[in-house]
């Protein structure tokens, strides 16, 4: 690029690429799009002129960022005190899987009841912190300290290199959002997913929270997603295949024409964060594993207002809907018993304690 007016105007070096007189240029200058003006309530169509007056098409200007969650700054991983026992991947970030029985011993079940309770309490307290202006990093620091105070290792820290004590997934973020410097905004929905490792086992739970005043469309999405999760839980019965869970979830989501994300699934859990069992949130006859008393797994449907196609941010973690429409999720860790399932991360004091129709 040329620097037409230098010398004559005596401008400092840094203005070389921003000349005063674009008429003298042979190549067009891309002016930065306005970041100070705010978008109108009704946005232009993709090929119409942008609302900001840049003269560019809306799709070439503000459309890409508008109304979307933008990545903030992620601070370095925080350490966990040496007094807290840690899982094997904590040092290296490498997860080495081993064979773990699908049917847990009574000792493991006892430990998982405790881990579930701790995770549930941390999730509820973290949810109480959700408000406009609070950054997801502030929530993460709180979650980290709550786990440590309870003698638990925040399972996500250094799990496959993941840097934080929880996942915070806002609006169109499906899951695995990394807490960062972005302040929550009025009308956001924010999922917090917490997992704690204590007594040698993991407890994994999440819920979607409202930030200030949330629009009715999003409120319904969150309500129905919680219902989907509990319909899935009610489908847990010994002797039945795991596919019953996905069917129950999908049937409910369909009534509202919502999408059910397929790319991320529930999982077996115990001494390991993720074991071989896969819990699909949609119906597939191939999900033929029979539920047996003593099995433990998560149910964690991600439900979308629009399509279920997804993209991953450059951080290699954050999964977002491709269409930018909102998505919600709830998660519980479940124990199959001879009769009703035991919701290890539910009960009194949990963010989603029992099925909505039972409270
Ligand atoms: N808690 C998530 C789940 O429900 C997993 C997060 S793993 C992380 O399975 F590495 F992204 F933190
Ligand atoms: Co999980
Ligand atoms: Co989780």
Q: Ligand 1 within 6 A of 140 CB?
A: no
Beta bridge partners of 140: none
Cα(149)–Cα(166) distance, rounded to whole angstroms?
A: 16
Which residues surround the ion ligand 3 when the cut-off is CB under 5 Å? 193, 204, 206, 331
How far is the CA of 209 from the CAs of 118, 132, 317, in angstroms?
19, 12, 21
DSSP for 139-158, written as a single string: HHHHHHHHHHHTT-EETTTT
**How many whole angstroms from 149 Cα to the centroid of ligand 1?**
21
Which residue CA neighbors atom 2 of ligand 1 most closely? 193
Pick the ligand that lies closest to the CA of residue 166: 1
At residue 24, the pLDDT reads: 55
- The residue among 267, 301, 268 whose CA lies nearest residue 283 is 301
Residue 31's pLDDT is what?
Answer: 75
Nearest CA residue ID for atom 7, ligand 1:
156
Residue 323 is classified by DSSP as T
| Ligand 2 midpoint to CA 40 (Å) | 38
Q: Is the CB of 269 under 6 A from ligand 1?
A: no
Instruction: Pick the atom of ligand 1 nearest to 298's CA.
Output: 4
- In whole angstroms, what is the distance from residue 120 CA to residue 115 CA? 9
Residues 6 or more apart from 120 whose CB is under 8 A from it?
A: 203, 205, 345, 346, 347, 349, 350, 351
pLDDT in tens, the chain (359 residues): 433 333 333 333 333 344 444 445 566 677 777 777 788 888 888 889 999 889 998 888 888 788 899 999 999 999 999 999 999 999 999 999 999 999 999 999 999 999 999 999 999 999 999 999 999 999 999 999 999 999 999 999 999 999 999 999 999 999 999 999 999 999 999 999 999 999 999 999 999 999 999 999 999 999 999 999 999 999 999 999 999 999 999 999 999 999 999 999 999 999 999 999 999 999 999 999 999 999 999 999 999 999 999 999 999 999 999 999 999 999 999 999 999 999 999 999 999 999 999 99
Q: Residue 277 burial (CB < 10 Å; 0-12/13-18/19+)?
A: buried
* Residue with CA at minimum distance from ligand 1 atom 8: 156
Residue 328: per-residue pLDDT: 99
Q: For residue 186, how many other CB atoms are within 10 A of its CB?
A: 12
188 lines ligand 1 (CB under 6 A): no
């Amino acid at each position: 690029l040329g620097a037409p007016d230098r010398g004559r105007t005596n401008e400092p070096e840094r203005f070389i690429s921003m000349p005063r007189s674009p008429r003298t240029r042979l190549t067009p200058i891309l002016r930065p799009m306005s970041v100070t003006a705010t978008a109108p309530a009704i946005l232009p169509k993709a090929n119409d002129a942008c609302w900001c007056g840049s003269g560019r098409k809306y799709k070439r200007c503000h459309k890409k960022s508008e109304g979307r969650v933008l990545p903030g700054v992620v601070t370095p991983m925080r350490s966990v005190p040496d007094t807290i026992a840690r899982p094997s991947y904590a040092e290296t970030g490498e997860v080495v899987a081993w064979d773990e029985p699908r049917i847990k011993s009574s000792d493991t079940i006892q430990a998982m009841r405790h881990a579930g309770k701790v995770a549930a309490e941390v999730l509820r307290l973290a949810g109480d912190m959700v408000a406009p202006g609070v950054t997801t990093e502030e929530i993460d620091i709180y979650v980290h300290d709550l786990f440590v105070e309870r003698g638990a290792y925040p399972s996500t820290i250094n799990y496959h290199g993941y840097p934080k004590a929880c996942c915070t997934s806002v609006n169109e973020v499906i899951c695995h959002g990394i807490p960062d410097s972005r302040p929550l905004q009025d009308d956001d929905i924010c999922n917090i997913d917490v997992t704690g490792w204590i007594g040698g086992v993991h407890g994994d739970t999440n819920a979607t929270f409202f930030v200030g005043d949330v629009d009715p469309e999003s409120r319904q999405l969150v309500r129905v997603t919680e219902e989907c999760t509990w319909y899935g839980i009610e489908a847990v019965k010994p002797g039945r295949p795991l596919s019953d869970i996905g069917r129950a979830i999908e049937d409910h989501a369909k009534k509202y024409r919502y999408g059910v994300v397929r790319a991320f699934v529930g999982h077996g859990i115990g001494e390991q964060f993720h074991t071989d069992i896969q819990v699909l949130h949609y119906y597939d006859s191939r999900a033929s594993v029979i539920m047996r008393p003593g099995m433990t797994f998560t149910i964690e449907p991600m439900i979308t207002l629009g399509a279920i196609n997804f993209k991953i941010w450059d951080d290699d973690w954050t999964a977002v809907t491709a269409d930018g429409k909102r998505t919600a999720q709830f998660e519980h860790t479940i124990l199959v018993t001879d009769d009703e399932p035991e919701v290890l991360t539910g009960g009194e004091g949990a963010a989603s304690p029992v099925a909505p129709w039972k409270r």
